[in-house]
Amino acid sequence: MRALVYGAGVIGSYLTHILKQGGNDVSLLARGPHPYS
């Protein structure tokens, strides 16, 4: 399965890790800098 996880925060990173362990082709998409950070 190919998947795209939108959001490289804690939950997105964890979900990506779980999917990769299952042998899936996963991409992780992070947005640019937040204007308030």
pTM over cut 0.75? no
Report the pLDDT value the prediction gives residue 31, as an integer from 0 to 100: 81
Read off the amino acid at residue 33: P
User: pLDDT of the chain along its 37 residues, tens only?
Assistant: 999 999 888 999 999 999 999 999 999 998 877 777 6
Phi-psi region of 36 (alpha: psi -120 to 50; beta: other; left: phi over 0): alpha
Quick check: 12 and 5 in contact, CB under 8 A?
yes
DSSP annotation of 6 reads E
Q: Over the range 1-37, which residues count as b (16 or more CB within 10 Å of their CB) and which as e?
A: eeeebeeeeeeeeeebeebeeeeeebebeeeeeeeee
